[in-house]
Copies of this chain bind each other. A is one copy, B any other.
């Protein structure tokens, strides 16, 4: 092992996940420089500036590349494998997009969860797009690995703080939507009858009088997340 201390460039990369009521999607951006050999989609990311902290860089990147402001981003891991930027096509892109001779690149990864509502649907003008998790292409650097690791992180996060799952849902949702979301996050089938029991035991999931309209199947009841009640419940623990 070389005993030189590294002098490295540092970047941030953001895993932004959104639920479109059917499945989980990751927000990907098109590389702004065409490199024939590489896939054109990647996680939103950027090298950080000289006077910038990493958390600020992550917010800046997300705004510049997607137009999304003030989204809570959670730092989750530093990816620093010595080989993560050593593929020829990735080096070529770094040369074109940033500067030559970036010998090593270390990244700090962030996670955000959001609703894909009207506001977040209209991101295509930034060359960003929502890509279903099942259709994620081969991405540059270790971006596929980062995305996979983020899902493991979110599973742990949901176990610790189940209420974050409602960040991904619309204000009013059906049990089917909630069920599909759990299945997406855990990447496995969850028995629907057991799931109904599980939900019935969640005091924070409150049934509304309202039902779906204009659907072919039997109109399902809407539910909401009772944030106030949930906070009160938690504080009494």
Contact = CB atoms under 8 A, between A and B. Distances in A.
A10 B48 contact: no
B9 A7 contact: yes
Nearest to A46: B5
Contacts of A6: 9-10, 47-50, 52
A106 interface: yes
Contact of A53 (B10, B81, B159): B81
A24 B182 CA distance: 39
Q: How many copies, total?
A: 2
Nearest to A109: B78
A235 interface: no
A160 interface: yes
Chain A interface size, under 10 / 10 to 19 / 20 to 34 / 35 or more: 20 to 34
Query: Most chain-B CB neighbours within 10 Å: which of A48, A78, A160?
Result: A78
Contacts of A99: 5
Contacts of A106: 10, 54
A10 B80 contact: yes
